Structure 1
Amino acid sequence: MLTAMTARTNKAVMKNPVDKSRKWLILTLIFAVSYGLILANLPIDVFKDRDNYLNYVLNSEIIFGVNASTGLLTLFANEPLWLLLNVLMKQVFEPEQAIRFYIFVSATIFSFLFLRKDPGNIVWLILFLFVPQIIKNYIIHLRQGVAVSVFFIGWALASSKKGWMVMILAPFIHASFFFVLIFLVLNKFVTKLRLSGVLRISIFFVVSLLFTLSVGYLATAVGARQANEYTFSAEGISGLGFIFWLAILLVFIMQGSGFIKKYSFEISVLVFYLCAYFFIEVSGRVFESVLFTVLLTGLTMKRWGKPAFLFLIFFYSIFSYVLRFGQPWLGFGV
C-alpha cells in the first residue's frame, strides 16, 4: 500500500511541471491575443502611413506587374512576397479589414513568441512590448511588423533548415532583412573561424562601413524602391540614440569575450547601427527589425550587466515617450 501511495505521489509530482507549463502556455497565448486585438482595433485613419498600406491592398497587383516587367532583379528587390500577400488580402478583405488582419496576426505571433522566450523575465518582456521601437511595428510600420513576425518564427527554429527557410522569406516582405541575413551569415562565418571577440567586432565594424558607403548605390543598381524613397543620409538627427545604443554596446562588450562570442550576431547589428547612424537613415529600420534579439540578449547578462541594461532600456523608453507628449497618439498619429 505504501508503495502504491508513493507511486501516485511521484506521478503527481511528474504531472505538476506539465500542468504548470500548460497553464503558462495558455496565459501567454491570452496575453498575446489581447495585445494583438487591442492594437488591431485602434482607429484606422489616425496613424502615419495608413494611406500607403491601403494603397498596397488596392494596387499591389499593378505594382507587382510593373516590377516584373522591369526584370527579375527589380522584382525580387521590391518585396514581392509583401505584394502577393496584399493581392491575396484584396480577394478576402476590404482594405481596412486587411490592415487590421495584418496588425492582429503579426502582433499576436510576435508577442507570443517573445513572451515564451524567457518566462523568468516575463514582467520585463511585457514592458519591452511597449518600447516605442517595438510597438511601432504594429502601429505605423506594418510591413516591417509582418516581416519581423515571420523572421521570429524562423529565429525560433534557427537550429534547423526549416528555420533558415522561414527567415529567408522576411527580406521579400521588408528589404531591411537582406542586411539582417547578411550579418547572420557573417556571424556563422566568424563563429566557424573561432575568432576572438576583438577580431569579430573589428570585422563587423569594417563590413558595416562598407555597407554604409555602398547601400545607396546598391539600391539604385537593383531598382529597389528605397532608392527613390530615401536620401541615404541622416539629416536632422539629435545623436541621443547613438549615445544610448553605444552605452548598450559597451555594456555588452564589458561582459567579456565569452559573451561576445555567444551573442556576436546581436553585437554585429549594434555595430552596424552605430556605424551607419550619422550617414544613412535606413540604419534605424535595419536595427529595429532585430531589436527584439538585443532585448532578449540583455536579459541573459550576469552580475551588474543586467541591472545596467534594464535601467538604460527603461530610462530610454520613458524618455522617448516623454518627448512624444503633446503629439498626436504619442507621435504615432498624423
Structure 2
Amino acid sequence: HNACVQIYDYKEKKARVVFGPHLVMLGPDEQFTQLSLSGGKPKRPNVIRALALLLGPDFCTDVITIETADHARLSLQLAYNWHFDITRALESQTEAAKLFSVPDFVGDMCKAIASRIRGAVASVTFDDFHKNSSRIIRSSVFGVDDKGKVRGSFEFPQNRLVVTSIDIQSVEPVDQRTRDSLIKSVQLAIEITTNSQEATARHEAERAEQEARGRLERQKIADEAEAERSRRDLLELQSQSAAIESTGQAKAEAQSRAEAARIEGEAAVEQARLKADAAAIEAASELERLTKAREAELKYTKEQNELHLNKERETTQIQIRKFKETIDAIGADTIRAIAVAGPEMQVTNT
C-alpha cells in the first residue's frame, strides 16, 4: 500500500508503473526495476536496495558539515519530511515514469539540500547562525516569498519529490576550538540570563517593598485623617449639646410666646371670619328684601298699567260702538246727503 513498482519489458523496451496494492502477472520478458538508495548517517550510496518505491509521507536523517563565514565548522544532524506528489502520476504513465527518473532520490535530495544549506551558512557568522539557525536553514531550502515569509515546501520537479519540513536535531562543532567557543558562548548566555533574572527579581522585590511601604504610609495617613474627622465630629456634637443646653429655656419661652401669639392670631382670624360671615348674611338679607320690594313694586306697576290699558281699550271699544250705533241710526243715505249738502248749497248760491 502507498507504494509503486516499475516493470520493464526488455523485448518491447517499454516500462510501466504499477501502484499498490495491486496484483499483476509479469510477462516472460518483464523484470522489476531495482532501486539502489543511499542510507546511513551521513548518507552513503548503494546502502538500500528495494523493488518498491515508497511514496510517503516519510522522513530521512542526514549529517552534514558546514562552515560559517568566520570559518567555524559545524556538524548538523537534520531530519527531512518528504512525500511524492502522485496526483498526475495516477492519471498518466508518462508522469508516473518520472517517479523512477532519479535512481537514488534519497542521495540526490540530501545532496541538493546540503548544498543549499552550505551556501546559505557560508555567508553568515557563527553567532548569527547560532541565534537564527532554524530560519537560515528553512529559508535556504524552501525559499522566501514576496512578503518575506518562508515557503512551506520544496519540490524536485524531476521526480515530483516534495520536502515539507526540516528539523534540526543537533548542532555540534567539528573542531575543539569551536566547541570551546560554543560552550563559552552558552555559559555566557546562561550567565547573562541568570543575572538578568536576578536583577529582575531584585527589582521586582524592591518594587513590591516600595508598594507595600507606600500602602502602609497611605493607610497611616488615612487612619490619621479618620481620627481627625472623628475628633471634629465629637467637638461639633459637644458644642451642639452645650448650645442646646444653654438655649433650651429661652427656646421654650420663645416657643410658648409664639404659641400664644399663634392662638391669639387664630382667634382674631376666626372672629374676623365670623364678622365677615354675619355681614355677608346681613347683606344677603337686605338684598333679598330689596329684591322682593322691587319685585312687588314692579308687579304693582304692571297691574296698574294693565288696568289702565284695559280701561283705555274698553273706552275705545265704547267709542267705536257708539260711533257705529250713531252711524247705523243716521243711515248711510242721510250721511251722504249731509256730505253733499254743503257743496250743492255753494253751487246754488253761486
User: Given the two structures, how large is their TM-score scaled by the length of structure 2?
Assistant: 0.21
TM-score (norm 1): 0.21
Q: Which has the higher contact order (CA 8 A, sep 6+)?
A: 1
Q: Which has the higher helix share?
A: 1
When Rg is computed on C-alpha atoms for both structures, the one with the higher figure is: 2
* Bigger strand fraction: 2
